[in-house]
Structure 1
Amino acid sequence: MASTALFPAFRARDIEVAPGVSIHAIVGGSGPPLLLLHGHPQTHAIWHRVAPALCERFTVVACDLRGYGDSSKPPGDAEHTQYSKRAMAADMLAVMRSLGFARFRVLAHDRGARVAHRLAADHPQAVERMVLLDIAPTVAMYAQTTEQFARAYWHWFFLIQPSPLPERLIEADPAAYIRDVMGSRSGGLAPFDPRALGEYARCLALPGAAHGLCEDYRAAAGIDLEHDRADIAAGRRLPMPVLVLWGAQGVVHACFDPLREWRQVADRVEGETLPCGHYVPEEAPEQLLARAMPFLLEADA
Structure 2
Amino acid sequence: MSDLDLFPGFSARDIELAPDISIHALVGGKGPPLLLLHGHPQTHAIWHRVAPALCERFTVVACDLRGYGDSSKPAGDDGHAAYSKRTMAGDMLAAMRALGFASFRVLAHDRGARVAHRLAADHPQAVERMVLLDIAPTVAMYAQTTEQFARAYWHWFFLIQPAPLPERLIEADPAAYIRDVMGRRSAGLAPFDPRALAEYTRCLALPGAAHGLCEDYRASGGIDLEHDREDIAAGRRLAMPVLVLWGEQGVVHRCFEPLREWRQVADRVEGETLPCGHYIPEEAPEQLLARALPFLAEGRA
| TM-score (normalizing by structure 2) | 0.99
18-27 vs 146-155, which deviates more? Answer: 18-27
Are 1:141 and 2:141 counterparts? yes
SS in structure 1 at match of 2:105: strand
Paired position in structure 1 for 2:252: 252
SS in structure 2 at match of 1:157: helix
Paired position in structure 2 for 1:166: 166
Counterpart amino acid of 1:165?
Answer: L
Counterpart amino acid of 2:222?
Answer: G
Are 1:108 and 2:87 counterparts? no
Paired position in structure 2 for 1:156: 156
Paired position in structure 2 for 1:6: 6
Separation (CA, whole Å) in 1 of partners of 2:62 and 2:35: 6
Paired position in structure 2 for 1:31: 31
Separation (CA, whole Å) in 2 of partners of 1:279 and 1:16: 29
Are 1:231 and 2:227 counterparts? no
Counterpart amino acid of 1:284?
Answer: A
The unaligned stretches of length 5 or more in structure 1 are none
Deviation at 1:18, TM superposition (A): 2.6
Separation (CA, whole Å) in 1 of partners of 2:203 and 2:174: 9
Identity of aligned residues (%): 87
Separation (CA, whole Å) in 1 of partners of 2:26 and 2:290: 23
Counterpart amino acid of 1:86?
Answer: R
Deviation at 1:2, TM superposition (A): 3.9
Aligned length: 300
Deviation at 1:162, TM superposition (A): 0.2
Separation (CA, whole Å) in 2 of partners of 1:168 and 1:220: 20
Deviation at 1:3, TM superposition (A): 1.4
Separation (CA, whole Å) in 2 of partners of 1:16 and 1:4: 20
Separation (CA, whole Å) in 2 of partners of 1:85 and 1:18: 18
Deviation at 1:4, TM superposition (A): 1.6
Separation (CA, whole Å) in 2 of partners of 1:291 and 1:48: 17
| TM-score (normalizing by structure 1) | 0.99
SS in structure 1 at match of 2:203: helix
Counterpart amino acid of 1:273?
Answer: T
Separation (CA, whole Å) in 2 of partners of 1:234 and 1:81: 21
Separation (CA, whole Å) in 2 of partners of 1:4 and 1:37: 17
Separation (CA, whole Å) in 2 of partners of 1:238 and 1:195: 37
Separation (CA, whole Å) in 2 of partners of 1:2 and 1:25: 13
Query: Given that residues 2 and 196 in structure 1 are in contact (C-alpha distance below 8 angstroms), is that contact kept between their aligned partners in structure 2?
Result: no
| Off by >6 Å, runs of 4+ in structure 1 | none
Paired position in structure 2 for 1:21: 21
Counterpart amino acid of 1:176?
Answer: A
Counterpart amino acid of 2:29?
Answer: G
Separation (CA, whole Å) in 2 of partners of 1:170 and 1:12: 28
Deviation at 1:267, TM superposition (A): 0.4
Paired position in structure 1 for 2:276: 276
